[in-house]
Structure 1
Amino acid sequence: MSTRIEIRRAVPGDATAACTLLRRSIEEGCRADHQGQPGVLDAWLGNKTPANVVTWFSAPTNYVVVAESEGELIGLTLLTQAGKLALCYVLPDALRCGVGRALLDAVEQQARAWNISKLHLHSPSGASQFFERHGYINAGKERACYGLECDLLWKRLDGACDPANKRFCNCSE
């Protein structure tokens, strides 16, 4: 894979490639998390359709960026105006190349532009260490809507408090 990565806003025309990226990343890259369990995998993939992806890209309350290398989508992340990092996926063969970090940088910049002081997400266990390395605090386990036990992670963007050993930051916002 080329080391040249372009981060840009997603456009509706990216939906089919983005859907393929999401499905492949979940099926292959998250195998240790879903362990091939059909019920969990089917639920996780259930809303990953081109029609849904177009809707996510078009929603004015979402900020979606993609990572592209040599004309191929290799990563995608979606931030909501509620401060939720709803999607953050990288193709398995593009892991550990700086794609995830670049995507996180882009959405964290947008969150600051929206005056969001704290981001949160549900992460499969296999990806939690990535987020922790980038300053996200692991607040423990929660069941995701698709039945997989995930880690609840959050990060203060304004540095307002020391979150050590806290389930939720009780700083005033």
Structure 2
Amino acid sequence: MSLEIRIAAPEDAFAACTVLRRSITECCVADHKDDPAILGAWLGNKTPQTVASWFESPTNYSLVALKDGAVIGVSLLTGAGKLALCYLLPEARGLGAGKAMLAKVEETACNWGVKAVQLHSTATGEEFFASQGYVRSGHVRSPYGVDTIFFWKQLDRGAAPDTSQRKRFCNCNSA
């Protein structure tokens, strides 16, 4: 098996769209519960044209994972440090492609000066992100009707938090 992680190109959009749609439909049943309204809303923007536009955006860092030359995974990091996509084909789970994409995303985020990566995970992906050092920080309802888990991961582990620039919201401790 040959596994490769590389920057996504617009030509990868059709295959990446297939990954997204199959992963959501087949792997995230616990999240969408086969509800046609939720699935329709969640899959609504997962078209090759939209995915190609995400890949072309200069503010996004998009990756595809390939096994023997075929796209099996897709991830996307926004310039704000949000992991907006991290999906695999059902048969590609457990091969290490998710971990490999996540490592490249985190490396890029560090190079951009991003202090922490954040994401909204499905229940299906929750244990994966927790096992990669992401911290659960509450629940958020997605626009398409799925309860998600908000995760974040600090990337600048060696730096102490800078508290000198924090705004004071009241004068109660100013004495």
Q: Name 2:96's counterpart in structure 1.
A: 98
Which protein is bigger by CA-based radius of gyration?
Answer: 2
Give per-residue Cα distances to partners, 1:31-53, cap 9 Å, x unaligned: 12111011111111000001100
Q: Name 2:136's counterpart in structure 1.
A: 138
- What secondary structure sits across from 2:124 in the alignment? helix
Match of 1:55 among 37, 44, 53: 53
TM-score by length of 2: 0.89
Q: Name 1:20's counterpart in structure 2.
A: 18
Alignment partners' CA distance in 2, 1:53 and 1:82: 19
Structure 1 vs Structure 2 CA RMSD: 1.5
- What secondary structure sits across from 2:6 in the alignment? strand
Displacement of 1:8 in angstroms is 0.3
Q: Name 1:43's counterpart in structure 2.
A: 41
Q: Name 2:166's counterpart in structure 1.
A: none
Displacement of 1:65 in angstroms is 0.5
Displacement of 1:172 in angstroms is 3.9
Displacement of 1:153 in angstroms is 0.4
Moved over 2 A (4+): none
| Structure 1 letter corresponding to 2:114 | I
What is the number of residues matched between the two proteins?
163
| Structure 2 letter corresponding to 1:107 | V
TM-score by length of 1: 0.90
Alignment partners' CA distance in 2, 1:161 and 1:113: 15
Give per-residue Cα distances to partners, 1:5-62, cap 9 Å, x unaligned: 1000000100111111110010001112111011111111000001100100000000
Displacement of 1:160 in angstroms is 5.7
Matched residues, percent identical? 49
Q: Name 2:78's counterpart in structure 1.
A: 80
* Unaligned runs of at least 5 residues, structure 1: 163-170
- What secondary structure sits across from 1:152 in the alignment? strand
Alignment partners' CA distance in 2, 1:24 and 1:30: 9
